[in-house]
Chain A
Amino acid sequence: MKLPPLMLGAVLLFWGWEVDLPYVGGILAVIVEGVRLIRARWDISDEDYNRVWNFCTLLFIGAVVYAFTANQGPSAFGQFINDPGLTTERAAGESGQKTASAMLQWTPIIFFPFLIALALGDRSSVKLTVFSLIARKRKKHREGPPVADKEVHADWVYFGTCLLAASINNNEGNVFFVGLALLLTWALWMRRSRRFALPVWIVVAVTACVVGFFSQQQLGELRRFLEGWAPQWTWRFSGRKTDVDRARTDIGQIGRMKQSGAITVRVEMKDGTPPPTLLRTASYRTYRNAQWFSFRPRFENGPPGSGGPPRGFGRGEGRGEGITNRSPWGTVQQESKPGTWVFRSGPAPMRINIATYVDTRENGDPLPLPLGFARIEDFPNATIKTNNLGVAVASSPSGVAIFDVLYGLNGSIDTPPSYPPFHFGTNPPPILELEVPANEWPALDKIIAGLDLDGKSTNQMIRAVASFFQDNFTYSLWQKTRYGRDTNSTPLEDFLAPTNRSGHCEYFATATTLLLRRMKIPTRYAVGWSVQEITGTSAIIRERHAHAWCLYYLNGQWHDLDTTPGSWVAEENRHASIFQWLGDTWSRVKFEFFKWRAGQSTLRDYVWWIVGPMLLFLLYRLVRRKGAKSRRLNSQAEAAALLRLGLDSEFYQVEKKLVEFGFVRATGETLGELLQRAVRDPRLTSLRDTLQMLLSMHYRLRFDPLGINVDEREVLRQHVRQTLDQLVAARRA
């Protein structure tokens, strides 16, 4: 290597100190300097260097994966992709920044094998083809300019990389600056201009370092000033997720109500549990203008001016739509067994495993759960809260929720039908689960009249309603005409009209919910997922399987009622993309990766079984390469051979002395030409013959196969000594 001794050791120590890896830095420094002590050198070809480089690249990729996962990269970027917003963007940015910082810090370790290969091969530079596949290919095919033969001074590059890696720290103080200044000036000293005297160089270097020191202090101040001056950026919310307080339906809209085929939930049935048909994420109570609310909207607790909030309520309390009317939330406490959450007591014989994505932030995402869920198991590091409508919202730092849910059909955490809180009107207040907007009454009553329900039990009434929808309606994703376009009718009224009777699940669920309410059966509107694609004991749920249905209350318990015609699944699947398998594969990869990140996959155990042998194989190829050979320079025979070549000739002292007169031997210039040039100087003219004689003896020593004998060598030695004295005298003169 061209770098002077101890320079690489010093830079590695400096790097180790700055990035809090002093022992690693020390060990690397000892190794790299220790290589200088051993005299064995390897005959390493460019091909071998390329292999070492590939090995280092593989290490680098492995390190990137490790750093990315260790810095929450997958979850942060997954969140950012699924829910773009300032917070997720910032989280992703921070994760990326941490990964990049870690990678920069580790670079000296990762590329250390290459440095050692350089040291063992006694090389300082290698060809560009060692690093670049493109350069290799171009060279092979003789394409483009001949950049492939360019040499890269890899030892200097490594030196610079260490300095850059050392700068990735947030240590207080000026140690970094001082160390950097010392190392840089050391490097500059090696390549300084010999035209200037040493004091000039020192003054210039010190001046530059001092100015640099003060400017870096001022730069920090400038940055702080700019930060204080810069305006705050506005906060924005964005994203698409289930709103547990309000469901905006597509009722009254036209066009295709199509969802994508992306897999959102994976279900695995355990202990012989039959597959659930519906997984609910949220339920709602009040219907207004094609929207469902979990509460009664603003100003509907009583007509304006009919009472108002009771005395003692402050501003915004009791009047606002989402303050006191909203379903109360309660945080569920984790059981002593980590990852276990109990929602209700009672038997829960059925067990399924659910895997889905959830928000990493505290507000979380509603979990898709079957009606009657009682316990969640194997879901550590999560935060779960529920409301009185049976909705469970969870957040997880990994961004993925994989858990077992135990449920039974004997109860649920949903509260019974209730009166609205803070009703300020006349008594008695209506039960929310029986409330139907007055403008929907005529159409609903007309349907009920046609069902002939007189004298029928509640169960029979429910079955009659279900049969009514199954027999008289069709499922359609494409809404050609806008229901409710006529100002005298509502979208639901148009949907129920005998001439139309076609729509998507939200129409059916809403109509069923309101129809049963008109029959005095308490109902709620539920949204979630329909489980359709079942394979053996597992099932996948796609985005287009998003569904809405009705919950009715009977015999002190809530029950699911899905009146959407069974053809809806076939209709949805008909529009599936032919490239769905591709998306499924990607989804699987993504899911496995998230699982691995969340520590719930066994894949992590296998990664090193794959990467490890690859690394070992590369190492083996490197070491056991055919024809690889080491050469030792320490044998006495070789040393003698070198001496035999006359490399110890005393004449070189004369050449060295001539440099002081300004006669430096140029590239390609012979010693004879140098002497001819030198003796033209008036100070050296008198030495012409002596120098010619010495050169002649030197040439014999160097190139004559017979060499010169001992006496002649002694003569050469003496004459050189005398000539040197004469040269010194001439210089003084």
Chain B
Amino acid sequence: MRPLFKLLFLSYRATSSVRYWIQRRFTSGGIALLVGLGIALPLSFDTENNVTYQALCLIGTLLLTSIMFGWWVRGRFAVERVLPKFCTVGVPVRYRVTVRNLAKRPQSGLAYLETLKDIRPTLNEWIAFQWAEEKRLRRIPIWKRHMRHPFRQARTAPVPIPPVPVGQTAEVSAELTPLRRGLIRFDSVTIGRADPLGLFRALKKQPLPQSLVVLPKRYFMPPVALPGTMKYQQGGVAMASSVGQSDEFVSLREYRRGDPFRHIHWRSWAKTGMPIVKEYEDEFFVRHALVLDTFSTDPYSESFEEAVSVAASFACTIQTQESLLDLLFVGTEAYCLTAGRGLAHADQILEVLASVRARLDAEHFTGLEELVLNHASRVSGCICVFINWDEPRRQLVRKLRLLGIPLLVLLIVERGLAKDVEVGPMADDPQNFRVLEVGSIEEGLARL
């Protein structure tokens, strides 16, 4: 199979390159003429019954003439791109680009084109995706199928640059629609100049590397009453993300075995001649864990993307002024991020979520289980966002329930599979077990 896949992969690379080249090189008029050429070509063989071959020749020579003009751009430019800090997947973002004319003659009829870094997959990544896609499509009726394009990072369009006098700067507002979360890496900027007929562009490229963080999609959520009560937090807020006790000083007392040395009050020891330690106030507050299931068999699974979006929606929605939110997930290693009460902002959680990747080794789910169970003693409640409902996940839920931790379990499933899901260990608390279908996540969240 591999040689066949290699051949298909090469054809994929070639096709995508040609498409990219056409989109950048040809203007909309040029693309229209290319389409005309494609339609006229098969009809042109029958020169007895139609004269389409004449159209073929005319369109062909118009395009060829244009292409002859399309290989050089006279002029020097200094281009600056002003990007926002974040953007959200699927939401168009506008940013400012300034183009300064450094040549000795005014410039007009130019267009600004964005050049992103090539993120097309390697052969192995591509094969993995094809298998996953094949498995996914097999479940879907043929008339409902649509191919995913996970290797397209953003949609851009050429922007006309207004005439730029000598030494002057023109400003354009470019638009970019991110198609996947993560980091968009800009490679260079390109100035295009159409030929006299306005069909083909000559391009001038200048390196200008930059990057833009694309946050996951977020859904509107109603105020959620999360389960759980306040819990004693050793070390208080400041230590919530590490270990130790609160900073709030209460009194002095005699040293007891096991007290940390850093709590010893040296002056009092000097006065009294015996070890005295500072005593701090115990703190109680609400702390929630947001568990994100990253174990998927499909690296570009829609349900995984939706799970990340759901987690992001919770991270944005939960009021963290008075409570803490721990994001627990397993990436390259087990992660725990705490936000709220001044520790970290939701933006930081979103940034982390923007970069979360699916893990294809489902057998390492125990890593997440360990992480959650170790953390369980500190949390008031737990929100679990799962993308599967197999035995290891049910087992984790059972264990958390045995520990007496209130749970809200959200299961993300593909379209049309919600009705087949069994409640399992959440049978006695079905209110806190919600199945969200891809495509109607927002509706599901609104019912929380």
Contact = CB atoms under 8 A, between A and B. Distances in A.
B173 A138 contact: no
Contact of B49 (A101, A187, A677): A101
Interface string A257-274: 000000000000000000
Contact of A195 (B45, B59, B108, B144): B108
Interface stretch (B36-44, B113-121, B292-300): B36-44
A553 interface: no
B53 interface: yes
Contacts of B48: 170
Contacts of A143: 144, 146, 415, 439
Contact of A164 (B40, B46, B172): B40
A653 to B, nearest CB: 19
Interface in B170-222: 170-173, 179, 193-199
B168 interface: yes
B266 interface: no
A6 to B, nearest CB: 20
Chain A contact residues: helix, strand, loop or mixed: helix
Contacts of B56: 216, 219
Contacts of A662: 106, 108, 162-165, 168
5 contacts: A177-B54, A665-B162, A666-B171, A666-B173, A680-B168
A207 B65 contact: yes
B50 interface: yes
Nearest to A203: B196
Contacts of B193: 193, 195
A157 to B, nearest CB: 9
A661 interface: yes
Contact of A180 (B55, B107, B163, B165): B55
A661 B199 CA distance: 26
Contacts of B61: 208-209, 211-212, 215
A212 B33 CA distance: 14
A156 B36 CA distance: 12
Contacts of B170: 666
B54 A167 contact: yes
B43 A184 contact: no
Interface in A627-671: 659, 661-669
A193 B165 contact: no
Interface in A146-193: 146, 156, 160, 163-164, 167-171, 176-177, 180-181, 184, 187-188, 191-193
A205 B197 contact: yes
Interface residues on B, range: 35 or more
B168 A204 contact: no
A661 B165 contact: yes
Interface of A: 97, 101, 134, 138, 141-146, 156, 160, 163-164, 167-171, 176-177, 180-181, 184, 187-188, 191-196, 200-201, 204-205, 207-209, 211-213, 215-216, 219-220, 223, 659, 661-669, 677, 680-681
B57 A668 contact: no
Given A195-B108, A195-B193, A667-B173, A97 B57 contact: no
A219 B165 contact: no
B9 interface: no
B109 interface: yes
Given A204-B197, A662-B163, A191 B27 contact: yes
B60 interface: yes
B14 interface: no
B51 interface: yes
A34 B179 CA distance: 45
A192 B197 contact: yes
B146 A138 contact: yes
Contact of B50 (A101, A138, A192, A659): A101
Interface string B53-86: 1111111111011000100000000000000000
B168 A664 contact: no
A97 B54 contact: no
Pairs A-B, 8 closest by C-beta atoms: A195-B109, A216-B57, A144-B146, A664-B162, A212-B61, A212-B58, A662-B163, A208-B65
